């Protein structure tokens, strides 16, 4: 070995193909603190740490065999004192006359090694952090999936609800038509003239009325307001309707009609206190021949009778509402009238307007036709409703007796 | 034939024979390590080479950290290939951990295999005193994995870049590119953990397929004592001590490797060198 190579600033080592040490330079011997004699003939494993022995078997020898060259391989050596020295190896496989030699140069890299250790540590930390991040993202994704599932469920429920709502609306509309079909038409002839207004607050009304001509001279007019409004009240109006239609058309006396309706409600709710409803009602039987009106007002807002000269009388309640107390005696009230009188019946949806607006209005418009009067009342209703009043079922009946 | 598996495991079939012989690489290597040995068998055998998923030119997308966290995952690769090719009574040649992978595969489907050839096998690399000396302490194996990290094992082309400019070797260079060792650092590390910390000692006695153990001289990865341990616990096994040294005789000493495998496959009876008396098997 020439002097230059012997003292070159890097370790130089030749190995047999099997890994036995053939030669080394002084620099290398000094690095490992070995004498020439103690190294020559040893297997290279002798100067390698255990991991380096494994690594060289797994990578160094197969690689140099396959590629005849190894570059920049990191391994660790062990000095005679057991100190570990990280080195980089470059190696070359060279065929001499009869043998194959592996020539290696080795450069210690303590500082770089420490630096790389730090880098690897940082890399591992980063990988851990990345793993944790992935895990967190996965968890978030799971949560998101759950939320989306729940959202979907809500949407489906909402859809069902919507469908139900539409169906219900359709049903209610049909019910409204049925309820309105049960209403009678106003009667207009040479003796009487009528106008009716009927308006439910919702789809169905708790108000109901009936107008019947009993014989050529007599007319029955009834107006009821079942407490509350909506479906339950409307159902009760329908049972009452079928009853009063029969009674009035058959010409029963006023007090008896009211008595029957009262007992009907008591019977209806006899065994079901929770469902109990009562109803206010006013029934008038008008005899145009005798110019006489018989009536009973059971808890209903007073009807207004107006003489042709504009004098107004209130047909006040003389009994509690139907369905409240059992055994109530309904007493018929009677008055006679002059032709040209005017009658106004209404339910409590209109009641609050009566004293301030409608009564004076009716008086003021003695000469106005019924049709015009109805329009005026409606105008007044619409105007006031917007300002002050919650919507309730509204019904009124106007009658002129000629 | 399941083309998906053939693609996934980069299966290559060569040779003129009818009897199939399948070569399984050892730790971290792809099929190119068999080049010299496998070619010698093409005249008389149907030679099958493959890569484990995650190595060589396998379909890396099929890699699943959970499946390949144990050697059983790699054994399943072998079984998948056998099933895809409808192999029966094939000869399995495995190097290092590859031979244990073959032994594990034979446990669930012994009918796939007629012979196992195990080159430098070890059922357990760690020492387990007082009765078993695998050769290593845990820290030393962890040190190896660290050394892999510091050599950027798995970093693309790190080895291919070392190939010379020698035009004659150009073809070799191209073959080697990205192939010789794992191309993915995470896969390389997971394979190392699966391979070096596996304890398959209790599986040896369950193996029913006859086996040849090729034990190198001076192999620090699979020392002689380990080879003898396997021979002692593996029924129907034959132990051959090779002149070859080191851990990769199929690469460093292909001629001897070819000769011993051929002898084992051809001779009716093989004399047993360096093995406890009476444990040789008549074939």
User: How many Cβ pairs within 8 Å bridge chains A and B?
Assistant: 97
In a shared domain, residues A358 and A215: yes
In a shared domain, residues A212 and A318: yes
Position A387 scores a pLDDT of: 53
In total, how many domains does chain B have?
A: 1
Task: Select from B147, B161, B176 the Cβ nearest to the Cβ of A66.
Answer: B176
In a shared domain, residues A356 and A321: yes
In a domain, B146, yes or no: no
Task: Select from A19, A70, A120 the Cβ nearest to the Cβ of B149.
Answer: A120
In a domain, B26, yes or no: yes
In a shared domain, residues A140 and A103: no
Chain center to CA of A357: 44
A279: which strand partners?
A226, A322
For chain B, what is the total number of helices (H) and then of strands (E)?
A: 10, 9
Say if residue B130 is exposed, middle or buried (CB neighbours under 10 Å; 0-12, 13-18, 19+).
exposed
In a shared domain, residues A93 and A47: yes
Chain center to CA of A27: 83
Closest CA in chain B for residue A90: B162
Catalytic residue check, B219: yes
In a shared domain, residues A17 and A52: yes
Q: Which residues contact B3 (CB under 8 A, 6 or more apart)?
A: none
In a domain, A115, yes or no: no
In a shared domain, residues A227 and A302: yes
- SS3 for A123? helix
Q: Give the range among A26-40, A349-363, A383-397, B262-276 with minimum mean pLDDT.
A: B262-276
Q: Do A65 and B181 touch (CB under 8 A)?
A: no
Residues A139-144 have a mean pLDDT of: 96
In a shared domain, residues A284 and A370: yes
% helix, strand, coil for chain B, step of 5 = 45, 20, 40
Tally Cβ neighbours within 10 Å of residue A214.
16
In a domain, B153, yes or no: no
Task: Select from B150, B180, B220 the Cβ nearest to the Cβ of A74.
Answer: B150
Catalytic residue check, B96: yes
In a domain, B175, yes or no: no
Question: Going along A33-161, which residue ranges are E strands?
Answer: 69-78, 84-95, 100-108
Instruction: Give the CA angle between residues A10, A14, A18 to the nearest 5°.
Output: 140
Q: Do B163 and A67 touch (CB under 8 A)?
A: yes
Convert the pLDDT of each residue in A82-95 to its tens digit. Answer: 999 999 999 999 99
Please list every residue in chain B whose beta carbon sits closer than 8 Å to the beta carbon of residue A43.
218
In a domain, A23, yes or no: yes
Return the DSSP state at B277. T
Average pLDDT for runs of 10 along chain B of length 283: 89 94 90 91 96 89 92 97 95 96 97 96 94 93 89 53 40 46 74 93 96 93 94 95 91 93 77 41 41
In total, how many domains does chain A have?
A: 3
Interface residue ranges in chain B relative to chain A, Cβ cutoff 8 Å: 27-29, 32-33, 136-137, 140-141, 143-144, 146-151, 153, 159, 161-164, 166, 169, 172-173, 176, 180-181, 218-221, 245-248, 251-252
Q: Determine the Cα–Cα distance for residues B244 and B53; give it in Å rounded to an integer.
A: 30
Q: Do A58 and B163 touch (CB under 8 A)?
A: no
In a domain, A113, yes or no: no
Q: Which residues contact B35 (CB under 8 A, 6 or more apart)?
A: none
Catalytic residue from among B32, B96, B99, B122: B96
Closest to A393 measured CA to CA, from A223, A245, A244: A223
Position A394 scores a pLDDT of: 86
Please list every residue in chain A whose beta carbon sits closer than 8 Å to the beta carbon of residue B150.
74, 113, 116, 120
Convert the pLDDT of each residue in A30-75 to its tens digit. Answer: 999 999 999 999 999 999 999 999 999 888 988 888 888 998 899 9
Position B278 scores a pLDDT of: 39
Last residue of a domain, one of A53, A78, A108: A108
- SS3 for A100? strand
pLDDT at A358 over 80: no
Check which CATH number belongs to the domain holding A52 and give it.
3.30.450.20
Q: Give this prediction's pTM.
A: 0.59
Q: Do B147 and A52 touch (CB under 8 A)?
A: yes
Closest to A347 measured CA to CA, from A183, A179, A197: A197
Q: Do A54 and B169 touch (CB under 8 A)?
A: no
Task: Select from B33, B161, B220 the Cβ nearest to the Cβ of A62.
Answer: B33
Q: Which residues contact A293 (CB under 8 A, 6 or more apart)?
A: A284, A285, A286, A287, A305, A334, A335, A336, A337
Complex ipTM > 0.95 = no
In a domain, B171, yes or no: no
Q: Which residues contact A373 (CB under 8 A, 6 or more apart)?
A: A195, A361, A362, A365, A398
Closest to A402 measured CA to CA, from A291, A309, A301: A291
Percent of chain A with pLDDT over 90: 65
In a shared domain, residues A145 and A189: no
Phi, psi for B246 (deg, rounded to 5): 85, -165
Catalytic residue check, B59: no
Residues A296-320 have a mean pLDDT of: 92
Domain of residue B218 covers: 3-125+199-266
In a domain, B147, yes or no: no
Last residue of a domain, one of A61, A84, A108: A108
Convert the pLDDT of each residue in A183-201 to its tens digit. Answer: 999 999 999 999 999 988 7
- SS3 for A266? helix
Q: Do A67 and B159 touch (CB under 8 A)?
A: yes
Give the minimum alpha-carbon distance from B224 to chain A in angstroms, rounded to a whole number.
Answer: 16
pLDDT at A390 over 80: no
pLDDT at A280 over 90: yes
Check which CATH number belongs to the domain holding B103 and give it.
3.40.50.1820
Domain of residue A357 covers: 184-401
Convert the pLDDT of each residue in A164-177 to its tens digit. Answer: 999 999 998 899 88
Last residue of a domain, one of A181, A206, A231: A181
- SS3 for A396? strand
In a domain, B158, yes or no: no
Q: Which residue has the higher pLDDT, A197 or A348?
A: A197
Q: Which residue has the higher pLDDT, A76 or B154?
A: A76
In a domain, B173, yes or no: no
In a shared domain, residues A79 and A129: no
In a shared domain, residues A91 and A177: no
Please list every residue in chain B whose beta carbon sits closer than 8 Å to the beta carbon of residue A75.
147
Task: Select from B140, B169, B246 the Cβ nearest to the Cβ of A18.
Answer: B246
In a shared domain, residues A362 and A396: yes
Position A330 scores a pLDDT of: 94
Give the minimum alpha-carbon distance from B5 to chain A in angstroms, rounded to a whole number.
Answer: 28
Closest CA in chain A for residue B245: A18
């Amino acid at each position: 070995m020439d002097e230059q190579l012997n003292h070159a600033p890097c370790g130089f080592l030749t190995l047999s193909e099997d890994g036995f040490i053939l030669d080394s330079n002084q620099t290398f011997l000094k690095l490992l603190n070995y004498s020439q004699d103690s190294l020559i003939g040893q297997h290279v494993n002798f100067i390698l740490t255990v991991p380096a022995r494994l690594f060289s078997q797994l990578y160094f020898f197969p690689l140099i065999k396959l590629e005849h060259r190894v570059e920049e391989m990191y391994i660790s050596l062990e000095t005679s004192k057991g100190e570990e020295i990280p080195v980089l190896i470059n190696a070359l496989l060279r065929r001499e006359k009869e043998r194959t030699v592996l020539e290696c140069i080795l450069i210690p890299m303590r500082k770089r090694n420490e630096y790389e250790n730090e880098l690897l540590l940082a890399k591992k930390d980063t990988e851990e952090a990345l793993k944790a991040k992935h895990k967190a993202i996965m968890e978030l994704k799971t949560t998101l999936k759950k939320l989306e599932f729940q959202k979907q469920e809500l949407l489906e429920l909402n859809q069902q609800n919507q469908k139900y709502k539409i169906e219900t609306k359709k049903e209610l509309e049909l019910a409204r038509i049925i309820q309105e079909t049960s209403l009678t038409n106003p009667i207009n002839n040479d003796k009487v003239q009528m106008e009716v207004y009927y308006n439910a607050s919702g789809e169905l009304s708790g108000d109901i009325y009936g107008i019947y001509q009993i014989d050529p001279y007599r007319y029955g007019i009834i107006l009821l307001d079942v407490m509350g409004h909506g479906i339950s009240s409307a159902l009760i109006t329908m049972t009452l309707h079928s009853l009063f239609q029969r009674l009035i058309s058959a010409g029963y006396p006023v007090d008896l009609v009211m008595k029957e309706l009262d007992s009907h409600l008591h019977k209806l709710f006899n065994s079901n206190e929770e469902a109990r409803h009562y109803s206010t009602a006013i029934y008038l039987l008008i005899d145009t021949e005798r110019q006489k009106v018989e009536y009973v007002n059971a808890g209903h807002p007073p009807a207004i009778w107006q003489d042709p000269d504009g004098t107004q009388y209130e047909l006040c309640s003389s009994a509690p509402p139907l369905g409240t107390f059992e055994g109530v005696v309904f007493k018929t009230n009677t008055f006679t009238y002059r032709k040209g009188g005017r009658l106004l019946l209404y339910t409590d949806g209109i009641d609050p307007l009566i004293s301030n607006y409608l009564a004076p209005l009716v008086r003021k418009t003695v000469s106005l036709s019924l049709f015009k009067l109805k329009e005026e009342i409606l105008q007044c209703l619409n105007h006031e409703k917007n300002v002050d009043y919650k919507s309730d079922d509204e019904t009124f009946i106007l009658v002129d007796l000629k | 034939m399941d083309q998906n598996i053939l693609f996934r495991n980069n299966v290559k079939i060569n040779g003129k024979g009818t009897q199939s012989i399948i070569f399984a690489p050892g730790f971290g290597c792809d099929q190119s390590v068999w080049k010299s040995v496998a070619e010698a068998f093409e005249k008389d055998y149907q030679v099958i080479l493959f890569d484990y998923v995650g190595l060589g030119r396998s379909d890396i997308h099929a890699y699943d950290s959970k499946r390949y966290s144990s050697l059983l995952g790699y054994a399943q690769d072998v079984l998948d290939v056998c099933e895809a090719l409808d192999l029966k009574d094939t000869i399995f040649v495995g190097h290092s951990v590859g031979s244990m992978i073959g032994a594990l595969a034979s446990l669930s489907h012994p009918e796939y295999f007629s012979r196992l050839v195990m080159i430098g096998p070890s059922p357990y690399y760690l020492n387990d005193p007082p009765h078993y000396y695998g050769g290593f302490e845990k820290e030393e194996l962890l040190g190896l994995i660290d050394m892999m990290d510091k050599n950027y094992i798995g970093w693309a082309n790190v080895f291919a870049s070392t190939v010379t400019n020698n035009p004659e070797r150009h073809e070799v260079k191209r073959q080697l590119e990205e192939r010789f060792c794992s191309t993915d650092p995470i896969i390389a590390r997971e394979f190392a953990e699966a391979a070096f910390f596996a304890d398959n000692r209790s599986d040896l006695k369950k193996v029913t397929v006859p086996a040849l153990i090729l034990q190198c001289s001076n192999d620090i990865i699979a020392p002689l004592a380990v080879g003898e341990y396997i021979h002692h616990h593996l029924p129907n096994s034959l132990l051959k001590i090779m002149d070859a040294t080191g851990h990769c005789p199929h690469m460093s000493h292909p001629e001897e490797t070819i000769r011993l495998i051929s002898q084992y496959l051809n001779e009716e009876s093989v004399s047993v060198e360096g093995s406890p008396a009476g444990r040789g098997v008549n074939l």
